[in-house]
Structure formats: C-alpha cells, structure tokens
Amino acid sequence: MNSTLKTILIWFFAIIFTLGSALYQRMTGPTYPVRGSAEIDGQKVKYKLIRSYDLADDAKVTVLVPDTSIKGEMRLRRFKSLDSWQIQPMQRSGDTLIGALPHQPPAGKVMYEVTLTKGDQRVLLNDHAAVLRYTGYVPRYILTPHIFFMFMAMLFSTLTGLLVIFRGKNTYLYAWITLISVGIGGLILGPFVQKFAFDAYWTGWPFGHDLTDNKSLVAFIFWAIALFVMKKNRENRLWPIIASIVLLAVFMIPHSVLGSEIDFTKEQKTISK
C-alpha cells in the first residue's frame, strides 16, 4: 500500500471513529432524553422525556397523544431532597399532553414519572424516574467553539495514535494540535461553559468531582507528557499511543456524569416555589 492511500485511510477511520465516539457519548449521557413507546387501549404512544433544561421558566414535558380521551399525570419531586412525591395533572393542547416541572436554580434537579390513563387503564411510561437537571443558558459564542475544539481534540488524538501505530507522518504536529485543542476546548472554554451553566468556573479536582472537568484535565496532562517525550525523541511510539488511549477512555465517559447538582436535603424546603 502506498503512503498516500495509507494516509487517506487513516484519516477516514479517524473521522469515522471520532464521530462514532461522539455520538455514543451524547446518547449515553444523563442529559439525553428518555425515549420509548407504550401502548394504551390498543394505541401506541411514543415519548421523549427531557432530562436537561437551560431556560428561565418551568421545563415542559410533552407527550403526543391524539386520543383526547387519554389523560396524563406526572409524579414528581426534587432529586436529592426530603420532598414528598406530588401528583400533577398534565394539560392538553390539541394532540399534546403537557406537564410543567417547577423551575430550580442551576444544578437543581427534579425527578419525575409520567402516567397515561384512559378509564380504568393506567400506563406508566418510564419504569424509572427521569431526572431533569436545570442549567443556566450557555451562549452559542461560547458553546460552539467549545464543542468544536473538543471534537478536534478527539479527532487529532485518534489520528495521531493511528499514525504512530502505522508509522505515518506529522505525528509531532498532530500531537501539538491535540494538546492545544484540549487546552482551548477543555481548560479555557470549558470553565466559561461551567460558569454560565452552573455559576462555577471549575468543579473538578481539587475542588470537586465533576468528571467533565476532570477528564479534560487528565487528557491534557497525558498529552503534555507525550509531547515532552516526543520532543526529546520523535521516534517514541509508547507515549502518544498511551495518550490517545487515555483521551479516548476518558471521553467515552458519558457527558455530565457526576456533574454539578444541588443537594436539597440540606435545605429542608419543598418543591413548590
């Protein structure tokens, strides 16, 4: 295989692998909507229950149910609280049943279940309570470049690892691009995203256990070590491979796992405003 074709194939697999990893991370995270379907009175109802909300009003939970004889209700309480469960009827607007989750401060969470009823039939949509986390609104001029640089970090980390394994070219350059991307996306823009969303620039080590912050720090440290070693020995293959594996491993952790949250048990308040 000639070098040009090998380089093209490496780029192709790096892009595909990165896109697949990013999709997996997004779809397995705790903020990804709970999706499914249920059957009531012979009718199939598809649902998507939201688990993240960044606006200043109550989060709206909607379920498309054209049959107007079907009603809905939500059972809810704040997550990590001493609240009692509350039952709230859902309101109908045309073909849609709508419920509202009481707004909470950034990092406050509300857990809820949705039940559909028709006559004496009751169908619980989600067997396990969905947990919605409220966040502050992150401006697009911060969020978009943050996502871009984190994607670039995943892409060039994977690319560098593959090039090192298959003895490709420009590995030192791509290692630098990886480190710079992690630095800008995770350690510079990341804290601004955190500040807008949860009013704290950094909630990872040593101040907290937020895995989103911690995994950016871990990835940066390993790639910094890899570059230090590669600067002294451009033929070194061990450390860029290790750094690539570490970045892949930490970024496969679903986004927002162990993220910021309020412990309402310390406040002794009810869910109502």
Q: Which amino acid is at 231?
A: K
Res 269 pLDDT > 50: no
pLDDT tens-digit series, residues 67-126: 999 999 999 999 999 999 999 999 999 999 999 999 999 989 999 999 999 998 999 999
> Is 100 among the domain residues?
yes
**Mean per-residue pLDDT, 18-23:** 87
Q: Which domain holds residue 170?
A: 3-28+138-251
Same domain, 107 and 11: no
- Contact between 50 and 132 (Cβ < 8 Å): yes
Res 256 pLDDT > 90: no
- Contact between 217 and 206 (Cβ < 8 Å): no
pLDDT tens-digit series, residues 189-235: 999 998 998 888 877 666 666 667 788 889 999 999 999 999 999 88
- If you write DSSP's letter for every residue of the chain in order, what string do you get? --HHHHHHHHHHHHHHHHHHHHHHHHHTSTTSPEEEEEEETTEEEEEEE--EE-SSSPEEEEEE---TT-EEEEEEEETTS-PPPEEEEPEEETTEEEEEEPP--TT-EEEEEEEEEETTEEEES-SS-EEEEE-PPPPHHHHHHHHHHHHHHHHHHHHHHHHHHTT-S-HHHHHHHHHHHHIIIIIIHHHHHHHHHHS-S--STTT---HHHHHHHHHHHHHHHHHHHHHH-TT--HHHHHHHHHHHHHHTSPTTTT-----GGGTT--S--
Same domain, 171 and 87: no
pLDDT for residue 33: 93
> Is 266 among the domain residues?
no
Same domain, 23 and 143: yes
The pTM of the full predicted model, rounded to 2 decimals, is: 0.83
Cα angle vertex 85, ends 80, 88, to 5°?
Answer: 125
Count: domains in the chain: 2
CATH number, domain with residue 51: 2.60.40.10
> Is 206 among the domain residues?
yes
Res 268 pLDDT > 60: no
Same domain, 234 and 155: yes
pLDDT tens-digit series, residues 121-145: 999 999 899 999 999 999 999 999 9
* 131: nearest Cα among 150, 153, 167, 104: 104
Res 54 pLDDT > 60: yes
Proportion of the chain above pLDDT 70, given as a percent: 92
**Of 116, 134, 152, which residue sits at a domain end?**
134
Res 20 pLDDT > 60: yes
**Mean per-residue pLDDT, 261-266:** 84
Contacts of 128 (CB under 8 A, 6+ apart): none
Same domain, 142 and 14: yes
**Mean per-residue pLDDT, 34-56:** 93
